[in-house]
A and B are shown apart, each in its own frame.
Chain A
Amino acid sequence: MITQKPLFYAGLLALIFVLPFLFPAYGVQLAAMWLMIIVAMTWDMTGGQMGYNSLGNIFFYGTGMYVAALVFIGMSHDIGAYTDASGGGSFQFTDAQYFSGVFFGLIAAGLFCAVSAVVIGMLIFGLRGPYFAIGTLAVAIAAGELVSNWDWVGGGQGIALPIYPGDIDVGKKFFYFLFAGLGVTIFIFLKWLYTTRFGAAINAIRDDEEKAEAMGIHTMWYKLTTWAISAFFVGIAGGLSAFQLIHFEPLESAYQTINLGIFMVVCVLLGGKGTLWGPVIGAIAFHLFKEVTWAYLLGWQWVALGGLIVVTVVYFQDGFLGWVKQQKPEWFGVRVDNGSTENAGTAK
């Protein structure tokens, strides 16, 4: 098993690399699948590993879009004049301006979202359970409404960005590899993080926060840090989406609470909360399901999606990996009492 593992990961990396070349027509779809994987993995950091179900992570996605776009524009032009022209006018970006704008836009998006997570977190991490979920949702909805009434950032029309300078197919691969790179980075980061004391501490908060407090764990620090890291990655993903979509507007594409905001939760529920692979598997399965129903069951796609959610929540509460874990606990290193330790605890 140990010798197979590096081989498995190497094969996976190779697959990730060749996918856009194997299916050149699906470049945008594959990038969208990576987006789903990214938002699912980052949602699971708080929702699965820490027990805080946020419905507002879409806030970081939307905010990431806006921050990235504004930094991108602001580095070369006057933002107010640019948004006034609504994508028209003669605003040119040289290649150097484009790529440096994308680079710094993404960094700024990540950092801004991480800081927002800390600020919002300090206000609402006192809420628990469903109250936290509703509180975060309210933040996302409010942000969408505020931004759509703010003319300087394009108001309800949103922002139009320049297209990738160069060949359109190269552009598709450019964004695919940025999304894939981000996804792989997050996966490796989480794989490491969940083995550290940090990972154990957020699991403790999930299992019994009051006990964790009574044991002197810095619960607030862990909660804020976890959400900030999560927001950092979602912000970058949002920024990437902004450059990929070219045009986005506040309610339907940036702060899309009922679409991506819910999808990320469904992905994790499907795959299995609180596991490393669950969100990844769930996101891929969900994305395929969504694409298939959107293509072949048009008109009924939302019904099919609702049906999927109901079946998952009623019959597979622990998701796919949770179900496998129940069947084969030994695969996950869980040991079951075999009776040989009956006398444990008695005085020696």
Chain B
Amino acid sequence: MTKIIEVTGVSKSYGGVIANKDISLSVKKGGITGLIGPNGSGKTTLFNSIVGYHPIDGGSIKFENNEISNMQVQEIARLGMLRTFQQTRIYGEMNCVENMLISLPHRKLTWRERFSSNTKVDYERADHLLEFVGLFEKRFLRSGSLSFGQQKLLEFAMALMNEPTVLLLDEPTAGINPTLINGLIDRLKRANTEFGITLFIIEHNMRVIMNMADTIYCLAHGEMLASGTPDEIQNDQNVVDAYLGAH
């Protein structure tokens, strides 16, 4: 499989705090890649660097073999690489369907289409994806009134509406009711297999990530600690130590 994201030697510090130090990793096209690590190990910082949220101090980030480390958030999003947020971000005043419709891939709209109303096809797609994440019955409710877990599902559905090639998910199961988690794992896998979306996931829930990912990277103190298949990571003494605090 080809590499769709290639991170080479990326460093990022905030003032004196080194959040990422010389990080290199790659995400395989069509696969599910996991990123784990204790709190404060620099996972979200790395995500932010990849999607152009802040400039990096050094290194290179390539998306489909093009350097993107100097590009802005919107430009990168328009290449087809989207991210969801750890603290869910939806448009709280709009209902679920409106949230979905505004998430249409704007990069594909012509100037005239921006001044047009949404088509029947758009509505059907929105309904279909809301059904896919299990929010169909709630589709006309104000999205801000949904529970946190449901908002996460909505944000996931919005990301799918945007037809991305790569989706970066920042802790998709955090704050979600355990009974919903199984359903979510299933949906993430289906997004990967049915829609062909490459997934790159930050996750704290080991059961979830070990179940889904084909490759896992583990960060600790801003540095790459280990990488490999779920089996290799589970048996890596450094990883176990990092999580138990021995590192």
The answer on a CB contact under 8 Å between B74 and A218 is yes
A329 to chain B, nearest CB (A): 9
The answer on a CB contact under 8 Å between A345 and B102 is no
Q: How far is the CA of A197 from the CA of B98 in the complex (A)?
A: 10
The answer on a CB contact under 8 Å between B115 and A197 is yes
The answer on a CB contact under 8 Å between A215 and B134 is no
The answer on a CB contact under 8 Å between A207 and B93 is yes
- A200 nearest in chain B by CB position: B102
The answer on a CB contact under 8 Å between B115 and A198 is yes
Q: Which residues of A contact B35 (CB under 8 A)?
A: none
The answer on a CB contact under 8 Å between A347 and B150 is no
- Give residues 116-156 of B contacting A (CB, 8 Å): 116-118, 133-138, 140-142, 145, 149-150, 153
The answer on a CB contact under 8 Å between B183 and A207 is no
Q: Which residues of B contact A213 (CB under 8 A)?
A: 73-74, 77
The answer on a CB contact under 8 Å between B180 and A345 is yes
B213 to chain A, nearest CB (A): 20
Query: Once A and B bind, how many residue pairs between them come within 8 Å at the CB atom?
Result: 119
The answer on a CB contact under 8 Å between B153 and A345 is yes
The answer on a CB contact under 8 Å between B153 and A208 is no
B149 to chain A, nearest CB (A): 7
B interface residues, how many (CB within 8 angstroms): 50
Binary per-residue interface labels of chain B (95-119) against chain A in the complex, 1 for a CB within 8 Å, 0 otherwise: 1001001111111010001111110
A218 to chain B, nearest CB (A): 6
The answer on a CB contact under 8 Å between A216 and B115 is no
The answer on a CB contact under 8 Å between B106 and A218 is yes
A296 to chain B, nearest CB (A): 40
B206 to chain A, nearest CB (A): 20
Give chain A's interface residue range (CB within 8 Å of chain B): 20 to 34
- A197 nearest in chain B by CB position: B114
The answer on a CB contact under 8 Å between A215 and B77 is yes
Query: Among A200, A210, A214, A219, which residue has its beta carbon within 8 angstroms of that of B98?
Result: A200
Binary per-residue interface labels of chain A (198-232) against chain B in the complex, 1 for a CB within 8 Å, 0 otherwise: 10110110011011111111110000000000000
A207-B182 CB under 8 A given contacts A197-B118, A216-B107, A344-B135: no
- B182 nearest in chain A by CB position: A347
A201-B106 CB under 8 A given contacts A215-B158, A347-B183: yes
Binary per-residue interface labels of chain B (151-178) against chain A in the complex, 1 for a CB within 8 Å, 0 otherwise: 0010000100010000000000000000
Q: Which residues of B contact A216 (CB under 8 A)?
A: 74, 77-78, 82, 105-107, 162
**Stretch from B4-12, B84-92, B227-235, B239-247 that touches the partner:** B84-92
- B77 nearest in chain A by CB position: A216
Q: B residues within 8 Å of A by Cβ?
A: 51, 73-74, 77-78, 82-83, 85, 89-95, 98, 101-107, 109, 113-118, 133-138, 140-142, 145, 149-150, 153, 158, 162, 179-180, 182-183, 186
19 other A-B residue contacts (CB within 8 Å) besides A196-B117, A219-B74, A335-B140: A197-B101, A197-B115, A198-B114, A198-B115, A200-B102, A211-B85, A211-B89, A213-B73, A214-B85, A217-B74, A334-B142, A335-B95, A335-B141, A337-B138, A344-B136, A345-B134, A345-B183, A347-B179, A347-B186
Q: A residues within 8 Å of B by Cβ?
A: 193, 195-198, 200-201, 203-204, 207-208, 210-219, 334-337, 340-341, 344-348
